[in-house]
Structure 1
Amino acid sequence: MSTAPRSDSMRGGGRVTGGPTTHRIVVLGAGYTGMLAAIRLARRTRKLDVEITIVNPSARFTERLRMHQVAAGQELADNRIPEILAGSGVEFVQGWATSIDPEAQRVYVDGTGTGTGTLRYDELIYALGSSTDADIVPGAADHAWTLNDPRTAHRFSEHLAVVAAEAGTVAVCGGGLTGIEAAAEIAESYPGLHLTLISSTELGAMMGERARAHLNRVLDRLGVARKVGQAVTKVLPDAVELADGELVSADLTLWTTGVRVSPLAAQAGIETDARGLIVVDPTLRSVSHPNIHAIGDAAAVRQAWGQIHGTCQSGMPTAAYTADSIARQLKGKTVKPFRFGYFHQPVSLGRKDAVIQFTKADDTPGRFYLTGRAAVLYKEGVSSSPVPSFELSKKMTVSVQLSKGGKATRRTV
């Protein structure tokens, strides 16, 4: 299985002939959605003349949902993409996709130590995802850490251990799910730290009142100080400046707010929205280039109740749907529109507590919620490593969607 870019004339030693009639599918991004799409599509097209290539800068599979655990000093399994793909028939190319030529149907790849290569495609699955944007506030990019990749998270954990040994101060900026989970994880791991969670909006605003109350009780128990309703205006080497001029001491600052996506699609002339997400039709195809499919955080997906926001809960169903849709299309079958509804908002609060808010299809809170040990087990079940699911997907169809939204998604968008 190759780990370097190949030219149009080069072929891997997989399950296809690579002849003139071969249908070439390139997947950009080997995160949760890209890996599932590639493996599932390979199984569904194993009897067809199809060649699937997945491109990713790193050979290690990154568990983005668990980066807060790495930041707190915990070790995750070192899962390698070529090993996960073994036996699937999917070819792995390690490198950075530098540009896309939609008219020529080519992707240009800068490979790790191998120069630049070109990949032709008949269909492209764009799964480049998103990352935390540290450029939205002065000083954040220079003085704050993010959880964008495991190497950075690991280096943060090393600095954190030093700060904790000196009973120092840590600021976590951003009161979304990532910020809350990171603050709780760090506070539980290092109870001697002085940790402040800073959020411009109410913590757990997406939850119901009782679930939100539990969230705050746990943060109190863990000793997490909060600055709520305050925007960060500047990050300094040893402090965070708030909108009212207050300085929050921070030997270490973790930045978890703000989202940016790869500019690759917009630069290629593929139609995107104001945030850079690819605008898709009801079957998750680009409205400007129908042979390009966008999934996960890279796609602007609308349902009758509104636009989906980027989470693994919504991303994995888009990947499974796209794999199934391409397979159906190649077999001459009808493709139905994508339907999705939210089901829950699971939030870990360290290793010993969690809160699960069950939701309506549009992600507004429902009546029921779960806390304590039961919530911990539930959260671990939905956020544990997806690698076993990938392995199983080589052999059978694995369900990854909890809800299609019922009546809320049957209306016309």
Structure 2
Amino acid sequence: MCGAALLSQHTSTLTASAPPSRAETPGLFRDNAVRESTEADAADSIKISFRDGGDKVFFERLKGAITQRKWLLQNAPPAPKSSWNADGNASNYPSDPSHQNRTKTAGIAGLEQLGLNMHKNNEMLIGSAFEDLEALMSSAKEVIALAERYARQSNGVSGGASAEDAAILAKSASQLGLVTTKDIVGGGSAETLYLSELSRNLAEFLTDDSRGVLKRAGGIITLVDLWAMFNRARGGVELVSPRDFEKAARLWEELKLPVRLRTFRSGVMVVQGHNRTDDATIKSLLSWLDDLHEFPPDRELSWDWREFGRGVTGLETAQRFGWSIGVAEEELLMAEEQGALCREEGLEGLKFWKNYIDTGVVAPKSKAKSEEETLAEALKESGFI
């Protein structure tokens, strides 16, 4: 009735058998409010006694717990992670009681809820990944800012960085894997250095086997297409203006790089390998037209294609050699200008054939042949012949 605990016979026996000299172990308090409600002289420590061993194991466990400091993670939110349920499907719910006690929704609503939860989890994971990426980009920006600050200091101290300092700075930026920009090498007299470095970067970009820029374009590409591809590959560090791009392309011949700039009669500028010539292009076109005498066409023709072959359009030429349509038309016009091809303008559009017509153009005589004919005429006039 009074709320006191009842003592059994066994309890009194155990209490009587216990030694009276042992002090009672104080209780552990997990809540600060409970601790404050106790007596003022309550012990702030505990005492542990080991009777049958186990002290060494306890000490090792305690040492590991102190090292890991797991109590700091007691109030931390759980990390989102996907788990597999009994049905073998991925579940993105956190391991908190609210989600564990949530009833499963079947049908279309359940699929929509599952997709929404997966979308939220993916947003969290992508957000953490972008934080790491932003940290990496900030490190790269610090290196670029350091190079730019060095360039400004050099310009401020010496009244304009010398060509040697700019060359050292550009070389250092290249070794660090940075893109050489105008801000790094400076302006004024260093523009020539910037254009030469840009010209070398362009040549390396074109001849890189892993990129295969020229190979995919059939060995020739327009300067406009190359400008767009190069700026896209720089990743937005600093876009190259069309004027600087053309100036850098015109330095290939001077720097003896393995690519060259070529201008068609219409004014279209293209980029191709240094070994590529007009004679090689005409030879490839004529070889292809000769092959058309052997392979049957896709549709029936009104003439004997085995004897006369057939004409080709700019689109067919572009598909055959991997060129763009503009480049294919320019190459066909170049071959026509050289007399290797002739054109046919009809209802199907402009077609080019192998030229079998004698244009009457006499090939220029060589110097030795001219000297031989002059000597023969002189002998005839003198009467020796």
- Give TM-score scaled by structure 1 length: 0.19
Larger relative contact order (Cα-Cα within 8 Å, sequence gap ≥ 6): 1
- Using the size of structure 2 for normalisation, the TM-score is 0.20
Q: Is the radius of gyration larger for structure 1 or structure 2?
A: 2
Structure with the largest fraction of strand? 1
